[in-house]
Amino acid sequence: MDTQTQAYSGRAPDRTRRSTRQVLGVVLFLAFVFGVVPAFIAATGRWDFYYTLTSVALLSVAAAGVWLTFYIGRINIGQGAYALAGGYVSTILMTQGGVSFWLTLPLAGLFCALISVLIGWPILRLRGVYFAMVTLVLTEVARLTALALPITNGAKGITSIPLPGGVSVMGVTLIPDFATLENPRQAFYFVAVTVMVLVYLVLWRIVNSRLGHLCRSLQQNEELSASIGVNTAWLRVLAYAISSFFGGVAGAMFVSISQSIYPSSFVVQDSVNFMLYCFVGGLGYVFGPMLGTLLLYFGWDLLQVAGQYQLLIYSGTMIALMLVLPNGVLSLFDRKGAGK
């Protein structure tokens, strides 16, 4: 057996073991979020945990979009704008158009994706730092637009948004009417976690596809990618559109849970947080934003006992994490590589 054959035969078991670990990890994660967590909440009676965990799931969905723009070598500090836009689109369609909430989710995402294409086509040609500066103002632009438009009801916002209705197919109820449920928070949790799982599966599939390999080439050297025939402009816009779609869906879900939306529902700080979730979890790992969201969301709440020093300790911890773990917390568990 020659050296090349031996190397190939050695890599095959490694890939098999890695695939087995990945499948096992997914199964354990699904069992935890759909089985262990609800059982724990039922046993302790802490029904408020459902709202907290639902918020974490939806924030991680929006952060997943920001991670994808990092994957093409761009810093996105404007995801809050698309979350706000998605929330308003869903609300207006439900309250003024009578559209089912479940249909407004993809429509809100598609609207945000379309807007991102119109905005992204010119600004994605800019170098990374200039693109980041442009996206930084998007959330404030979205807020001011919501304040000015009559259809958004200005500063008063839109309240009394109806809960999601039921979905039936051939007389079989697939999703119950949330208004008839004794505890709609539990239903929102299952929906939010399902959306989160689907989003990260899509993200993982993108990264491990030919499209993902092309996007990674943009991160490493755009000029070299263009020189071998890669349509870099199209790839950047496509990734940005997918990112904004995730933000719009997350915003629409948030609005339905809170049953109200205001121009200040998503601000610049939210856009910065979405970026921080990616840094803390790990920019080189698909599931980094999910872990980063969980750690920072609960970390901020735990630091409330520090009172006036909460922000100081939080900021110091963030800086320390980035210095000690520049590749994110997930790098502690996988020293070999990224995109896993």
Other C-beta atoms closer than 10 Å to the C-beta of 288 total 27
Distance CA 268, CA 271 (A): 5
Q: Is 183 exposed, middle or buried (0-12, 13-18, 19+ CB in 10 A)?
A: exposed
Distance CA 185, CA 34 (A): 14
Higher pLDDT, 203 or 337: 203
Distance CA 35, CA 295 (A): 21
- In this prediction, residue 157 carries a pLDDT of 92
Three-state DSSP class for residue 167: strand
Q: Quick one: pLDDT band at residue 14, thresholds 50, 70, 90?
A: low
Distance CA 270, CA 78 (A): 9
Q: Quick one: pLDDT band at residue 8, thresholds 50, 70, 90?
A: very low
The pLDDT tens digits of the residues spanning 94-152 come to 999 999 999 999 999 999 999 999 988 887 776 667 778 888 899 999 999 999 999 99
Report pTM. Answer: 0.89
Q: Which of 86-90, 246-250, 324-328 has the lowest mean pLDDT?
A: 324-328
Residue type, 26: V
Higher pLDDT, 199 or 336: 199
Full DSSP string of 12-51: HHHHHHHHHHHHHHHHHHHHIIIIIHHHHHHHHT-THHHH
Three-state DSSP class for residue 174: strand
Q: Where are the alpha helices (DSSP H) in 137-231?
A: 138-148, 184-207, 210-220, 222-227
Q: Which of 76-80, 215-219, 263-267 has the lowest mean pLDDT?
A: 215-219
Distance CA 24, CA 27 (A): 5
- In this prediction, residue 7 carries a pLDDT of 47
**Closest residue by Cα to residue 192 from 168, 169, 162, 164:** 164
